[in-house]
Amino acid sequence: MIIETLSTFPLMYESVMGSSMMKRARERGIIDFTAYDLRDWTHDRHRTTDDDPYGGGAGLVMRCEPIYEAVDALCGRPAPEGVVTGREQPLTGPAPQHPQGPAPTTVFLTPCGRRFDDALATELAGCERLLFVCGHYEGIDERAYDLADYQVSLGDYVLTSGELASMVVIDAVVRKLDGVLGAPDGATDESFVEGLLEAPQYTRPAVFRGREVPAVLLSGDHGAVARWRREQSLARTAALRPDLLCQAPLTPADRSFLDSCASSGADPAAHGIIFR
């Protein structure tokens, strides 16, 4: 997969994309990542990417011209007739790496976008090339959103920049690609994949400061372990994120278990449920 970012602070990606899982994915050739500096598509000596908002108001708004020019260049598209382009300032970041490659799926990070979740991460993981356009300051000129295939929001809060949001989305997408995680089923056995929170996990030691690992996990009975994990997942979701149950694919056995939890007064101890 080709992953590219377009922002005013491309150096923010160095630590994230050069460490841990991302580093391994790049070394294995699973992803090809490039961070572009939007300022390379400006034409004044101050390399200006923002301006005061029309109509007044606080903050600055990112200009649409450099965004359009950058996306055209990254996609290998000629400028529209009558539009004058041409670099007046030196290139400080990488030149377009894939101008003749597949057309990118362009993602804008914005509070107005679709709420990011596991389903959207899976959707984006099926794309051949992703281009993330990251806002800053007060926002982006509305006309730039015409370039977007997706508008994505992490949630109901405000971040300093779209770079931070894009790192979260990229991480969630890349871990779904074949060969990225060490365990073959690692990406399919996590919270939200089946619409539920994940069951509690344990490792050595078996007893720590008086707290014991649940005996079923030490039993060697794979069927019992699977049932325990499913019940833990159901009960934890019902207690902490009941909204998820409305759309989760529940079996008759799942519903029966949840009914039994409710009839017992939702006492976790009655079913050995652990919410820590």
Judge whether 109 is annotated as a binding position: no
Judge whether 164 is annotated as a binding position: no
Say if residues 65 and 55 touch (Cβ distance below 8 Å). Answer: no
Q: Where are the alpha helices (DSSP H) in 35-145?
A: 64-75, 118-125
Judge whether 158 is annotated as a binding position: yes
What is the rounded CA–CA span in Å between residue 101 and residue 76? Answer: 8
Q: Which helix (H) or strand (E) holds 208?
A: strand 207-208
Judge whether 107 is annotated as a binding position: no
What is the rounded CA–CA span in Å between residue 166 and residue 99? Answer: 22
Q: What strands lie across the sheet with 129-134, from one edge to the other?
A: 32-37, 2-7, 129-134, 105-115, 150-153
Own/partner pairs for 262-266, CB < 8 Å, 24+ apart? 266/238, 266/239
Helix/strand number for the chain, H first, E second = 7, 10
**From the CB of residue 250, how many other CB atoms can be counted at a distance below 10 Å?**
17
Q: Give residues with Cβ within 8 angstroms of 110, minimum separation 6.
A: 135, 139, 140, 145, 151, 152, 153, 162
Judge whether 135 is annotated as a binding position: yes
Binding residues, as ranges, are 135, 154-159
Binding residues for S-adenosyl-L-methionine, as ranges, are 135, 154-159
